[in-house]
């Protein structure tokens, strides 16, 4: 008997080899109809590939992320087929699925692809898809594979890096490509396709390599879904924070000031200040204390923290003093400063936890090509705080931080989120700092706190930082896009490196546990997401312009001023519009 274990833990038995499709059929006709891909023992495969040994099996439909991946990867084959029909001289390279759709990197030789070519490609793809061809995988020897692609240096390079015996070709219709598998049952289910963009991309992402054309596309099983997707794309463009931020007078960039260094205009500064006040108030209620640290720190500080060794080469380089040979770094994170703040006084277990909060501005070098509006910048302000507590206080502190994050999200209208719990790799515990006992305590604290707060969670093993486990909040915005916002991290490393301690009830020195947390992440990123989520229509309490007074004639101007002043006394801000012309 062959045992197939499904994701819910149930086991189904079959006499001899069985395909994922047959398993689906043995469950229900509907499931079989909708199954477009499968994962067998962790590897994505076609629904017709026989399973010959006891295995775990996940059946995938269009509604699963991995199902979409198979759909879009298969669509990349259709795109490549269409490209080769119009441009027989083109050289294909790779064509993976991405988060939204797929791309294919192609060397078109002399003439690049332009937007006017997209439509004919779309038509050809659908025409070919209609033939309802299956994707057939077959193994080829390295020698045969190299012969097949003798005039394609890119595929040749790929094949040369593959072990003989693991090279497969996939054929659908009249088109064959080098591919390791993971396709949909047949091309016929691709009912709608759009070529979105063609952009330059270097072979293997290395600018020393030849430049290729990356053709982006997306496909769907229904035309309606494509239409909706394109509408969402248009809406996202309309809400782009770079566009709205300018129109609303929130922020600006200046070449003279420097790339990636945002300038907050008065309305943006007002908005940001309100958010800071809102969070400060909530933090104060939870017993946080506010601290302030400088924008630079001696290089020594970051040698102690380990940042210099890890990130030094890719950071802004040290600032030197004119004479004394001192070196300073622009602050890349606030944590080392806060460790020294903790250290400035002596603490007993009765004083803990200490919760130090700061809207701390940090600077991180990003390549100019990576910069993007407020979401990728070179200087930004974290809504940072570091909590120092005893190991026994960890659970309670974690719960409090979750409460704070939920309060922030709730107040700002982010209702749809999941929390990712990142724990140690169970197999490989050597790469983590800190004792097993403390790790267990911390991991249990996170899992217990997340459960107690009723969070929708996913758990990833091996995703913890080397210094401690963490909890990240992934928020969905009004357009269904996912953003990583708040993060909570446990840290055993920095207390060790900075030799932090407190006096225990046993009168011995003990190491505190440190928690890093930032509900917004950074003010810049959060405001970017807030702009796109609200399309600039901020909640009234946050709006930089909460009222406009329109006096109906000049003789009421003084009264309008009086009303405006009395509103402003109550921290309600706005303006008087006494222009003579009608709006
Ligand atoms: Zn493929
Ligand atoms: Zn930190």
* SS3 track for 33-93: HHCCEEEECCEEECCCCCECCCEEEEEECCCCHHHHHHHHHHHHHHHHHHHHHHCCCCEEC
Is 384 an active-site residue? yes
By the 8 A CB rule, do 375 and 525 touch?
yes
Quick one: what percent of the chain has pLDDT higher than 70? 99
Q: Which ligand is nearest to the CA of 94?
A: 1
Beta bridge partners of 491: 514
Burial letters 138-174, b for 16+ CB under 10 A, else e: eebeeeebeebbeebebbeebbeeeeeeebebbbbbe
Q: How far is CA 440 from CA 231, 300, 391, 393, 436, in A?
A: 47, 32, 11, 14, 6
Cα–Cα dist 565/574, whole Å: 10
> What is the C-alpha radius of gyration for the chain, rounded to an integer number of angstroms?
29
Sheet holding 11-14, edge to edge: 11-14, 2-5, 55-60, 37-40, 43-45
pLDDT tens, position by position, 350-381: 999 999 999 999 999 998 888 999 999 999 99
Q: What's the CA-to-centroid distance between 489 and ligand 2, angstroms?
A: 8
Tell me what the mean pLDDT of segment 109-116 comes to.
84
Q: Which ligand is nearest to the CA of 96?
A: 1
CA angle 495, 499, 503 (to 5 degrees): 90
pLDDT tens, position by position, 373-418: 999 999 999 999 999 999 999 999 999 999 999 999 989 888 888 9
pLDDT for the residue numbered 513: 94
Q: What's the CA-to-centroid distance between 144 and ligand 1, angstroms?
A: 18
Is 389 an active-site residue? no
Q: Which ligand is nearest to the CA of 45?
A: 1
Q: What's the CA-to-centroid distance between 384 and ligand 2, angstroms?
A: 7
- 81, 382, 393, 420: which is the annotated catalytic residue? 382
By the 8 A CB rule, do 490 and 515 touch?
yes
Q: What's the CA-to-centroid distance between 175 and ligand 1, angstroms?
A: 11
Cα–Cα dist 462/471, whole Å: 13
pLDDT for the residue numbered 583: 52
Does pTM top 0.95 for this prediction?
Answer: no
Q: For residues 570 and 520, which has the higher predicted lDDT (pLDDT)?
A: 520
Q: Which ligand is nearest to the CA of 80?
A: 1
Quick one: what percent of the chain has pLDDT higher than 90? 74
Confidence tier at 348 by pLDDT (50, 70, 90): very high
| Residue 554, SS3 per DSSP | helix
- 91, 183, 274, 335: which is the annotated catalytic residue? 335
Q: Of 220, 196, 226, 228, which is closest to residue 62 (Cα–Cα)?
A: 220
Tell me what the mean pLDDT of segment 503-512 comes to.
95
pLDDT at 434 over 80: no
Cα dihedral sign, 500-502-503-508: negative
- 91, 155, 272, 364: which is the annotated catalytic residue? 364
| Residue 100, SS3 per DSSP | coil
pLDDT at 421 over 70: yes
- Which stretches does DSSP call E strand in 86-235? 91-92, 97-98, 101-107, 136-139, 168-172, 175-178, 192-202, 211-220
pLDDT for the residue numbered 413: 85
Q: What's the CA-to-centroid distance between 106 and ligand 2, angstroms?
A: 43
Tell me what the mean pLDDT of segment 486-501 comes to.
92
- 272, 338, 516, 525: which is the annotated catalytic residue? 516
CA angle 425, 427, 429 (to 5 degrees): 65
Cα–Cα dist 574/452, whole Å: 42
Q: Of 544, 573, 541, 546, which is closest to residue 271 (Cα–Cα)?
A: 544
Q: What's the CA-to-centroid distance between 181 and ligand 1, angstroms?
A: 5
- 214, 386, 400, 517: which is the annotated catalytic residue? 386
Residues near 173 by Cβ (< 8 Å), separated by ≥ 6?
81, 128, 131, 133, 187
pLDDT tens, position by position, 275-292: 999 999 999 999 999 999
Q: What's the CA-to-centroid distance between 73 and ligand 1, angstroms?
A: 6
Q: Which ligand is nearest to the CA of 77?
A: 1
Q: Which ligand is nearest to the CA of 305?
A: 2
pLDDT for the residue numbered 268: 95
Q: What's the CA-to-centroid distance between 521 and ligand 1, angstroms?
A: 38
Is 241 an active-site residue? no
pLDDT at 582 over 70: no
Angle between helices 65-86 and 118-129 (to 10 degrees): 110
pLDDT at 428 over 90: no
Write the burial class of residue 111 (CB in 10 Å: 0-12 exposed, 13-18 middle, 19+ buried): exposed
Q: What's the CA-to-centroid distance between 259 and ligand 2, angstroms?
A: 25
Q: What's the CA-to-centroid distance between 77 and ligand 1, angstroms?
A: 6
Q: Of 264, 261, 236, 234, which is closest to residue 250 (Cα–Cα)?
A: 264
The per-residue pLDDT of the chain, averaged, comes to: 92
pLDDT for the residue numbered 79: 97
- 155, 337, 354, 470: which is the annotated catalytic residue? 470
CA angle 333, 337, 338 (to 5 degrees): 100
pLDDT for the residue numbered 147: 95
By the 8 A CB rule, do 429 and 476 touch?
no
pLDDT at 325 over 60: yes
pLDDT at 472 over 80: yes
Is 339 an active-site residue? no
pLDDT for the residue numbered 471: 94
Q: What's the CA-to-centroid distance between 336 and ligand 2, angstroms?
A: 8
pLDDT at 540 over 70: yes
- 177, 384, 472, 477: which is the annotated catalytic residue? 384
By the 8 A CB rule, do 216 and 199 touch?
yes
Confidence tier at 93 by pLDDT (50, 70, 90): very high
Tell me what the mean pLDDT of segment 563-578 comes to.
86
pLDDT for the residue numbered 324: 86
Q: What's the CA-to-centroid distance between 74 and ligand 1, angstroms?
A: 6
Is 177 an active-site residue? no
Q: Of 358, 357, 353, 375, which is closest to residue 366 (Cα–Cα)?
A: 375
Q: Which ligand is nearest to the CA of 362?
A: 2
Q: What's the CA-to-centroid distance between 131 and ligand 1, angstroms?
A: 18
Tell me what the mean pLDDT of segment 49-53 comes to.
93
* Greatest mean pLDDT among 474-478, 508-512, 538-542, 547-551: 508-512
């Amino acid at each position: 008997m062959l045992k197939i274990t499904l994701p819910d833990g149930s086991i189904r038995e079959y006499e001899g080899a069985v395909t994922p499709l047959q398993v689906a059929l043995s469950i229900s006709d509907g499931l079989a109809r909708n199954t477009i891909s499968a994962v067998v023992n962790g590897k994505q495969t076609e629904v017709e590939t026989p399973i010959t040994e006891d295995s775990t099996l996940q059946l995938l439909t269009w509604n699963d992320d991995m199902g979409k991946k198979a759909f879009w990867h298969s669509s990349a084959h259709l795109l490549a087929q269409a490209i080769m029909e119009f441009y027989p001289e083109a050289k294909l390279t790779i064509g993976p699925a991405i988060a939204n759709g797929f791309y294919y990197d192609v060397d078109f030789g002399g003439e690049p692809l332009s937007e006017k070519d997209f439509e004919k490609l779309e038509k050809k793809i659908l025409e070919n898809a209609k033939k309802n061809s299956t994707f057939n995988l077959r193994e080829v020897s390295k020698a045969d594979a190299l012969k097949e692609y003798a005039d394609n240096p890119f595929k040749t390079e790929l094949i040369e890096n593959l072990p003989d015996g693991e090279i497969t070709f996939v054929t659908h219709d009249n088109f064959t490509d080098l591919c390791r598998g993971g396709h949909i049952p047949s091309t016929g289910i691709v009912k709608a396709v759009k070529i979105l963009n063609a952009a330059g991309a270097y072979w293997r992402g290395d600018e020393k390599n030849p430049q290729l054309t990356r053709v982006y596309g997306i496909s769907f099983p229904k035309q309606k879904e494509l239409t909706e997707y394109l509408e969402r794309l248009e809406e996202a463009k309309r809400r782009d924070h770079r566009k709205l931020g300018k129109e609303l007078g929130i922020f600006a960039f200046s070449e003279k000031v420097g790339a990636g260094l945002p300038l907050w205009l008065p309305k943006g500064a007002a908005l940001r200040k309100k958010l800071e006040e809102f969070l400060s108030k909530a933090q104060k209620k939870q017993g946080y204390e506010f601290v302030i640290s400088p924008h630079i720190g001696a290089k020594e500080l970051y040698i102690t923290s380990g940042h210099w060794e890890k990130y030094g080469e890719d950071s802004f380089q040290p600032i030197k003093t004119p004479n004394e040979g001192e070196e300073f770094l622009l602050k890349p994170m606030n944590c080392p400063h806060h460790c020294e703040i903790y250290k400035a006084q002596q603490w007993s277990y009765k004083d803990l936890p200490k919760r130090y909060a700061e809207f701390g501005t940090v600077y991180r070098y990003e390549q100019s090509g990576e910069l993007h509006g407020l979401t990728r910048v070179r200087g930004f302000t974290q809504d940072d705080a570091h909590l120092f507590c005893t190991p026994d206080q960890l659970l309670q502190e974690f719960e409090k931080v979750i409460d704070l994050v939920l309060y922030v999200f709730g107040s700002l209208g982010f209702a749809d989120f999941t929390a990712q719990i990142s724990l140690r790799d169970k197999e490989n515990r050597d790469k983590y700092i800190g004792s097993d006992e403390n790790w267990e305590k911390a991991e249990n604290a996170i899992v217990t706190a997340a459960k107690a707060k009723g969070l929708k969670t996913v758990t990833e093993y091996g995703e913890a930082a080397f210094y401690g486990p963490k909890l990240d909040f992934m928020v969905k915005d009004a357009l269904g896009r996912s953003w990583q916002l708040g993060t909570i991290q446990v840290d055993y490393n920095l207390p060790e490196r900075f030799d932090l301690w407190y006096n225990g009830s046993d009168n011995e020195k003990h190491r505190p546990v440190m928690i890093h947390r930032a509900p917004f992440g950074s003010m810049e990123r959060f405001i970017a997401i807030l702009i796109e989520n609200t399309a600039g229509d901020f909640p009234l309490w946050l709006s930089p312009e909460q009222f406009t007074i329109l006096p109906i004639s000049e003789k009421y101007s003084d009264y309008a001023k009086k009303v405006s002043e009395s509103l402003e006394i109550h921290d309600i801000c706005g303006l008087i519009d006494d222009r003579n012309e009608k709006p």
